[in-house]
Amino acid sequence: MRIALLALATLSAAACATVDVEEPAFSLVREDGAFVIRDYAPTIIAETTLAGEAVKARNAGFQPLADYIFAKDRNGGEIAMTAPVTQAKRQKIAMTAPVTQESSLAGWTIGFTMPANYTMETLPAPANRAVRLIQQPARRMAAIVFSGLAGEERMESKRLELLDRIAKEGLSPVGEPVFAFYDPPWTLPFLRRNEVMVEVAAR
């Protein structure tokens, strides 16, 4: 009985872990099982890019972003944690003149969405030069929702599944797919909410 109660408490805590966490505002366009299309409002992302395998890059990227929002490496107050944490493959940008810091960035870009009450003018500037604030315009996103662990092989499988689905829907992707993770790392795999999404041209 005690074991059953402990298991139930663990499941309840994991399921409720992100109940009060702000998510980006959107309007639902269409939902068909795990496939959804949403129109997102403009958002601001704090992001950093790291090389390496997907899960290691995700874990390593969390720290500088957490230091930023929790004011560990800058002056000012803390910024509320939101969901999801995003991850996207970033290709190396061709060298140009003048050379900028971003010219050599490649790997996985990890991002935290900033709360909607902030603007680029009111957000504190990151002290760590590896952390960037990016303004994203309103976008239409197609997504596939999935649970479980998200290693590199599963991420690639879901990426291909999404691209195949939007091709069958007659939609045109804009840019590369982005992965979204909504739960803290202690959440049981089968309770996790993950998504792979890509911007699509609005009809």
Quote the distance between the C-alpha of residue 168 and its chain's center. Answer: 25
pLDDT along the chain (203 residues), means of 10: 38 45 96 97 96 92 96 94 93 47 66 97 96 97 97 96 97 95 93 97 81
**Interval 50-101: pLDDT, tens:** 998 999 999 999 999 999 999 999 989 999 999 999 999 986 544 444 443 3
Q: What is the pTM of this model?
A: 0.84
CA 154 to CA 58: how far, in whole Å?
A: 15
Quote the distance between the C-alpha of residue 159 and its chain's center. Answer: 14
pLDDT in the model for residue 14: 39
pLDDT in the model for residue 202: 79
**φ, ψ (nearest 5 deg) of residue 16:** -95, 5
CA 71 to CA 147: how far, in whole Å?
A: 31
What would the two tokens of residue 12 be?
């309840």
CA 127 to CA 136: how far, in whole Å?
A: 21
What are the residues whose beta carbons fall under 8 Å from the beta carbon of 21, sequence distance 6 or more? 81, 82, 83
pLDDT in the model for residue 11: 35
What would the two tokens of residue 72 be?
């560990």
pLDDT in the model for residue 105: 54
DSSP three-state, residue 104: helix
pLDDT in the model for residue 9: 37
Are 182 and 84 within 8 A, CB to CB? yes
Are 198 and 21 within 8 A, CB to CB? no
What would the two tokens of residue 178 be?
């982005």
Are 131 and 64 within 8 A, CB to CB? yes
2-200 folds as Multidrug-efflux Transporter 1 Regulator Bmrr; Chain A (3.20.80)
Beta bridge partners of 146: 194
DSSP secondary structure, 41-59, as one string: PPEEEEEEEE-S-HHHHHH
pLDDT in the model for residue 185: 85
* Helix or strand (DSSP H, E) at 160: helix 152-168
